[in-house]
Structure 1
């Protein structure tokens, strides 16, 4: 097993963090372009939101394939090939002739993007000692935030300079260069024990995870939190693109620098868990998320950005804890257990637009904040339940 802060730990953590960054560059590059796409194609906020929602929904569906498959054939090959396919599809998106083709390619891209997140944490569970895994998960999820920032900044900046095609082209080239480095850095698997893939067995494993209340609670917490977090960013772009702010695509891309709050939160999560239980950290993260949403109600752009930064910090603390909770408490089929967490996570992201859209139409951003607090109240209750019901021997977990 790989020990914390050993040379092998740094190499593996760097590789997985790079892979994570590449996934989220590809997934989120179109988000700052949504207001422009809405105008260019004459569609509603709900329809243009499918550019993001279909990709995340396809990603969620793919996890049900890649997770169990990785328990049978290994995890490294899936991660490498899926990243390669994602980069090639970004190049294809640059050539999409119409909105329908764009949606079809985004859906396919979402599916292949699931290859790395479906198995990365399970790979860590196979190869890392427990304390090494907790520290690596925080850095890995921190790379999620950097990928989200990079994708949106590149997408927004290149989109304003040369249209959406330029953004997709830049992301595709960045991804292919990163895949070469990822391929070289990822160490060979030594702790993986293959299981013969059987559909009935895979379904039984998924059913067992869903019947485990300790895991199911973490699944719901992660999915509902992400339902709010990622879709708040979509609606804030519509708010800030309109008067009195009138921000263009480049500046809308730059608002995602507030994700750096999430980079800090996920990176600190490994230290926080030394002093607080994982459920207590989840509670703290959600409470911070709720407070940040309150700050975004301001009409001051700097305060809105502060609120989004607070949101990102709180969300990623809770997400880091919930995802590592699943990796530590799954007793079997760790790959499918981690994948199922992400199924809930990305399904939440894809459904959030349908939850928040009525609130947006009824009350604008204040309506979005109300819809957010209703869901976050549910996830806070789940975290409190987990805190009260920690498994035996998990006082410090």
Structure 2
């Protein structure tokens, strides 16, 4: 098993962080372009949000395939191949002839983007000692946020110069180069024990995870929190593209620098969980997310940016610990257990527009905030339930 902060730990963690970074560059590059795409194609706010939703939904579906498959054939090959395919999809997006074609390519891209996140944490759970796992997962999810930031900033900035399709070309090229580096950095697994793939066994594993209340609670917490968090960013672009802000695509892309708050939150998650407990830190993350949402209601742009930064810190704090919670509490078949967490996570993201859209139409951003608090109250109750579980079962090593 790989010890924390050893040379092997740093190499493996760096490789997985790079892979995570590249995945989320590709997934989120179109988000600051939504107002422009809405005008170009003459679709509604809900319609253009499908550019994000179809990718996250197909990504969620792919996790059900890649997770169990990785338990049978191994994890490295899946991560390497799908990462390169994701880069090729971004290049193809630059030549999409219509909005429908763009959506279809995003559907395919979302599917292949699921390969790495479906198995990365399971790979770490196999190879790392438990103290090494918490720190590695925090850094890995911090790379998620950095990838999300970079994708949006690159997408918005390049689109300002060469249009949206230039952004896709840039992201695709970066992904192919980074994929080659990832391929060479990632060490081969030493602790993985393959299991012959059997559909009935895979379904039994998924059913077992869903019937485990400790895992199901973490699944719901991650999925609902992400439903709110990621879709708030979509609707804030609509708010800030209009008067009195009137931000262009490059300015909207810079708004996503607030994700740096999430990078800090995920990197601190391991330390905070050791000082208190993972479930208590999940509760704290949800409360911080509720507070940040309240701050975004103020009109000055600096306060909106502050609120989004606080949101990112709270969300990624809770997400990092919910994700590692699954890896520690899964009873076997860690690949499918981690993948199922991400299924809830990305299904939540794909459904967020349908939940927030009526509130947006009725009351604008204040409606989005109200809709957010309603669901965040649910995840706060879930986190309290996990905290009570930890108090009843002190023997479980966190």
Q: Using the alignment, how far apart are the partners of 2:176 and 2:41 within structure 1?
A: 30
Q: 1:282-297 to 2 correspondence within 5 Å?
A: 282-297=282-297
Displacement of 1:343 in angstroms is: 0.1
SS at match of 1:196: coil
Question: Equivalent residue for 1:54?
Answer: 54
Q: Using the alignment, how far apart are the partners of 1:266 and 1:224 within structure 2?
A: 18
Displacement of 1:331 in angstroms is: 1.2
Question: Equivalent residue for 1:4?
Answer: 4
Contact kept in structure 2, 1:279 and 1:386, CA below 8 Å = yes
Displacement of 1:243 in angstroms is: 0.2
Contact kept in structure 2, 1:70 and 1:119, CA below 8 Å = yes
Q: 1:220-235 to 2 correspondence within 5 Å?
A: 220-235=220-235
Residues 134-182 of structure 1, C-alpha deviations (whole Å, 9 max, x = no match): 1000000000000000000010011111111100000000000000110
Contact kept in structure 2, 1:273 and 1:396, CA below 8 Å = no
Q: Which runs of 5+ in 1 are unaligned?
A: none
Question: Equivalent residue for 1:31?
Answer: 31
Contact kept in structure 2, 1:85 and 1:112, CA below 8 Å = yes
Q: Using the alignment, how far apart are the partners of 2:284 and 2:140 within structure 1?
A: 21
Question: Equivalent residue for 2:125?
Answer: 125
Displacement of 1:60 in angstroms is: 0.2
SS at match of 1:102: helix
Question: Equivalent residue for 2:346?
Answer: 346
Q: Using the alignment, how far apart are the partners of 1:320 and 1:165 within structure 2?
A: 33
Q: Using the alignment, how far apart are the partners of 1:184 and 1:36 within structure 2?
A: 38
Contact kept in structure 2, 1:223 and 1:344, CA below 8 Å = yes
Displacement of 1:392 in angstroms is: 2.4
Question: Equivalent residue for 2:165?
Answer: 165
Displacement of 1:206 in angstroms is: 0.1
Q: 1:1-397 to 2 correspondence within 5 Å?
A: 1-390=1-390, 392-394=393-395, 397=398
Q: Structure 1 segments of 4 or more deviating over 3 A?
A: 393-396
Q: Using the alignment, how far apart are the partners of 2:233 and 2:137 within structure 1?
A: 24
Q: How many residue pairs align between the two structures?
A: 397
Displacement of 1:393 in angstroms is: 3.6
TM-score (norm 2): 0.99
Q: Using the alignment, how far apart are the partners of 1:330 and 1:277 within structure 2?
A: 18
TM-score (norm 1): 0.99
Q: Using the alignment, how far apart are the partners of 1:38 and 1:88 within structure 2?
A: 25
Contact kept in structure 2, 1:121 and 1:137, CA below 8 Å = yes
Over aligned residue pairs, what C-alpha RMSD do you find?
Answer: 0.7
SS at match of 2:297: coil
Structure 1 residues 394 and 311, CA gap change in structure 2 (3 angstroms): farther
SS at match of 1:117: helix
Q: Using the alignment, how far apart are the partners of 2:214 and 2:365 within structure 1?
A: 34
